[in-house]
């Protein structure tokens, strides 16, 4: 089979992205929309989603759908995929990007509420969304699920224990889903970014004693930008990755070379 640029064309693909109002989620949404996709933007604050949708339209993107939701709430997570299907007749790609890390410190001192919130957003939400999307895709010719993990899911992140555990969990969720849904034509892959400059990672980026040692370990000697993660999501959402499933793409500037 010969491949061309058309393999990266996402025209008319129906894509749901959680945590889409800013950071990596927004960068992914904008890139995929510019490639022709219809993008459903999910996030907690409707004002932020409206601003993101306006920015995508201004950049020349396609149709957007605004879906206010908190994926840490099971009722919200369960409702998102059906809302996309109702609006557009189906869903082709699910991108589980929303993340939370409400506490920084030793895991032995972590309060139970912080553990619960982190796991609810970073792991249970994607689990419920993947159940819903995976069932529909399995019965309707296939699709793709893309989970956003972290290098913290591959190596322990000191002082970010619950976050690391949740991101390790989503890597295994990716592999289990890939094995179970592959025969039905559903591909499930994972992206593990390193340090990326977002509001979510502001404390890590803006604190020299944390930032500088991390950057010193990277072959590129710098942290990343959200747009530098969006290309991997574009590839995984497209037909160019048609023979890839169950994999973790590490994008960290060369820390784990």
Number of alpha carbons in the 13 Å side-chain half-sphere of residue 2:
1
CA-CA distance, 213 to 201, in Å (whole number)? 15
Active site residue 3: no
Q: Where are the beta strands (DSSP E) in 81-185?
A: 93-96, 143-148
In this structure, the number of other CB atoms found within 10 A of the CB of residue 113 comes to: 10
Provide the 3-class DSSP secondary structure of residue 42.
strand
Angle, helices 23-34 vs 227-237, to 10°: value is 50
Q: How far apart are CA 73 and CA 164, in angstroms?
A: 21
Q: Choose among 203, 201, 177, 200: nearest CA to 188.
A: 177
Catalytic residue among 3, 26, 163, 257: 163
Residues labelled as active-site residues: 163
């Amino acid at each position: 089979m010969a491949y061309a640029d058309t393999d990266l064309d996402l025209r008319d693909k129906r894509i749901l992205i959680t945590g889409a109002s800013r950071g990596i989620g927004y960068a992914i949404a904008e890139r995929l929309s510019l490639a022709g996709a219809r993008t459903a933007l999910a996030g907690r604050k409707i004002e932020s989603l409206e601003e993101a949708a306006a920015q995508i339209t201004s950049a020349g993107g396609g149709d957007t759908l605004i879906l206010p939701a908190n994926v840490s709430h099971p009722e919200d997570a369960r409702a998102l995929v059906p809302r996309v299907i109702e609006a557009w007749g189906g869903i082709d790609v699910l991108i589980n990007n929303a993340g939370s890390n409400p506490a920084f410190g030793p895991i032995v001192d972590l309060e139970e509420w912080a553990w619960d919130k982190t796991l609810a957003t970073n792991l249970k939400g994607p689990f419920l969304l993947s159940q819903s999307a995976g069932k529909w895709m399995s019965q309707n010719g296939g699709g793709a699920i893309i989970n956003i993990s972290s290098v913290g899911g591959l190596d322990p992140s000191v002082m970010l224990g619950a976050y690391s555990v949740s991101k390790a969990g989503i890597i295994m969720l990716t592999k289990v889903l890939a094995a179970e849904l592959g025969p039905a034509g559903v591909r499930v892959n994972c992206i593990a970014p390193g340090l990326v400059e977002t509001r979510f990672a502001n404390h890590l980026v803006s604190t020299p004693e944390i930032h500088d040692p991390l950057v010193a370990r990277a072959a590129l000697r710098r942290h990343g930008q959200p747009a530098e993660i969006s290309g991997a999501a574009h590839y995984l959402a497209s037909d160019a990755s048609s023979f890839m499933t169950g994999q973790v793409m590490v994008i960290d500037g060369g820390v784990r070379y």
